[in-house]
């Protein structure tokens, strides 16, 4: 059995549980380290706000420059996370193009915002490859990853799922297509999800993302 198959087998049960949790109880959070949200009356057009914002568990990954990316890098900034991999044929480049287009408007709402691309493919997405990839879209964006032993619990904490599919070096990665917003206090605050519109495929529309981000910042 090749490495991708082994990883898939190890992740299958955990991914199934996370997926069920996310979609059956999207706004619930049972962690004991929570507090009541100030966003109780805020309704989003393209996602939801967590009832009880919760700090992310301690993590340590690396960015596209080889620098550590830890909880400290969330302090004082709004962080918009998206998971994928640089060999992704469609979803990732489309999403990053859209985020690059939305970024100036998001910055007008809050200059303290960072977009963070989480690579779910640490074996192939080297530091140099991530640097070249993210620079194509916006050099201000972060591109982070770590070995699966660190990456998987971090992505799970954000609410993302991913799984390697196929054998050999040409495997693909199935992954979440949502965005997750983390507050300047390091708390997972909101999730933005694809939605359908007549005549268009399900997607996160920039105008709704920008409007929802403004609602959140204005109520922070």
d(CA 124, CA 87): 9
d(CA 34, CA 47): 20
Nearest CA-CA partner of 95 in 175, 15, 187, 161: 175
In the chain (220 residues long), the average pLDDT of successive 10-residue segments reads 43 42 39 56 91 93 98 98 95 96 98 98 97 98 98 97 89 95 97 87 93 94
d(CA 179, CA 190): 8
pLDDT of residue 19: 40
d(CA 191, CA 53): 11
pLDDT of residue 189: 96
Nearest CA-CA partner of 101 in 216, 209, 220, 218: 209
Residues present in the chain in total: 220
Domains along the chain? 3-218 (3.40.30.10)
């Amino acid at each position: 059995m090749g490495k991708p198959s082994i990883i898939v087998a190890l992740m299958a049960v955990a991914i199934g549980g996370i997926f069920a949790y996310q979609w059956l109880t999207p706004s619930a959070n049972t962690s004991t380290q929570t507090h009541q949200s100030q966003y109780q009356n805020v309704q989003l057009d393209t996602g939801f706000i967590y009832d009880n914002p919760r700090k992310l568990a301690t993590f340590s990954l690396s960015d596209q420059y080889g620098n550590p990316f830890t909880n400290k890098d969330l302090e004082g900034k709004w962080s918009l996370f998206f998971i994928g991999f640089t060999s992704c044929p469609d979803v990732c480049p489309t999403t990053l193009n859209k985020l690059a287009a939305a970024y100036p408007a998001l910055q007008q709402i809050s200059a303290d915002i960072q977009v963070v691309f989480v690579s779910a493919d640490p074996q192939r997405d080297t530091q140099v490859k991530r640097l070249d990839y993210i620079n194509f879209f916006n050099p201000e964006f972060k591109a982070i990853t770590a070995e699966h032993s660190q990456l998987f619990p971090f992505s799970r904490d954000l609410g993302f799922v991913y799984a390697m599919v196929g054998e050999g070096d040409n495997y693909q990665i199935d992954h979440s297509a949502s965005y997750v917003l983390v507050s300047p206090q390091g708390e997972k605050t909101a999730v933005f999800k694809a939605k359908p519109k007549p005549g268009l495929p399900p997607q996160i529309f920039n105008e709704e993302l920008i409007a929802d981000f403004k609602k959140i910042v204005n109520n922070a």
